[in-house]
Chain A
Amino acid sequence: MLWRWLIFVWIAATMVVALLSAPLVPVLQETTRVLYFHIPSAWVTVLALGWSMINSMLYLIRRDLRNDDHAAAAAELGFVFCVVATVTGSIWAKSMWGSWWNWDPRETSIFFVLLIYGAYLALRASIEGEEKRARLSAIYSILAFVAVPPLMFVVPRIYSTLHPDPIINGSGKIDMDPMIRWCFFSMLLGFTFLYTWLQSLRVRVSRLERRLAT
């Protein structure tokens, strides 16, 4: 129980320091605050979708439904965190670009990721029979994740975008004020722990659902 409260205090304390003490990025000004929620959400999205892909591969190798539980839970949570990243990015875009949605390469890429994983969830919901659902979903999840790194990391770098530079810039350095950097990485860690908690909880729910169904 204690570690759950540690996650709560960790994220809450980071929020206090980030929103009251950390300086604003000159280019971003007041919208700097979005950075502490937007990027960790995007990071957890990639982490969760990657975990979904790994467990899908493990399912196809071992045919163990526990791997399918992990893959499904990770894809669901990846989708939720992707929505959070999209909404926070859209709020930022309204403030900086004057419009909620501009079809900027970053926005278009994240839209495609949402479509791909929305289709994954629809696919799972439409198939009867655990084994068949797990097998087809695993194949889809592996193919879907192939599209994620190009969409999240390559496309926005190829086309000209108004989106701020990535955290690790073109010269391979993290160009951030030390205080902002501390808050940013602290929030990244907090979101990662929150994701692992939610992942384990969702997997437990899936197992209960199976137990109750039999």
Chain B
Amino acid sequence: MDRNWVVLGVSLMLWGLLFFWILRVERRVRDVEKR
């Protein structure tokens, strides 16, 4: 497989995981703020 696609795949996967983790943390913060 082309190395560029491997690097892109890994980068997008890590970025996606980080992004959704931050969104999850923000949702939890919002829940606590509402209490």
Taking a contact as CB atoms under 8 Å apart, the answer to whether A33 and B7 are in contact is: yes
Cβ of B7 and Cβ of A208 under 8 Å apart?
Answer: no
Q: Name the CB-closest residue of B to A190.
A: B15
Q: How far is the CA of A7 from the CA of B18 in the complex (A)?
A: 12
Q: Are A16 and B33 in contact (CB under 8 A)?
A: no
Which of B1-35 touch A at CB < 8 Å? 3-5, 7-8, 11-12, 15-16, 19, 22-23, 25-26, 29, 32-33
Say yes or no: A15-B12 contact (C-beta < 8 A), given A4-B23, A201-B26, A204-B33. yes
Residues of chain B contacted by A212 (CB below 8 angstroms): 32
Given A33-B7, A208-B29, A201–B22 Cβ distance below 8 Å?
yes
- Interface majority SS (helix, strand, loop, mixed), chain A: helix
- B19 and A20 contact, CB distance less than 8 A: no
- Whether A201 pairs with B29 at a CB distance below 8 angstroms is yes
Per-position binary interface string of chain A over residues 173-212, scored 1 when its CB falls under 8 Å from any chain B CB and 0 otherwise? 0000000000000000000000001100100110010001
Question: Which residues in window 1-31 of A have CB below 8 A to B?
Answer: 4, 7-8, 11-12, 15-16, 19-20, 30
CA distance A201 to B23 in the complex (A): 10
**Cα of A201 to Cα of B7 in the assembled complex, Å:** 29
In the bound complex, residues from chain B placing their C-beta under 8 Å from that of A11 are 15
Residues of A within 8 A of B (CB): 4, 7-8, 11-12, 15-16, 19-20, 30, 33, 37, 197-198, 201, 204-205, 208, 212
3 cross-chain pairs, A with B, having the tightest CB-CB distances, nearest first: A19-B8, A8-B19, A15-B11
Could you give 8 example pairs across A and B, Cβ below 8 Å? A8-B19, A12-B12, A20-B4, A201-B22, A201-B25, A201-B26, A208-B29, A212-B32
A8-B19, A208-B33, A212-B32 known, 4 other contacts, Cβ within 8 Å: A8-B15, A19-B11, A204-B29, A204-B33
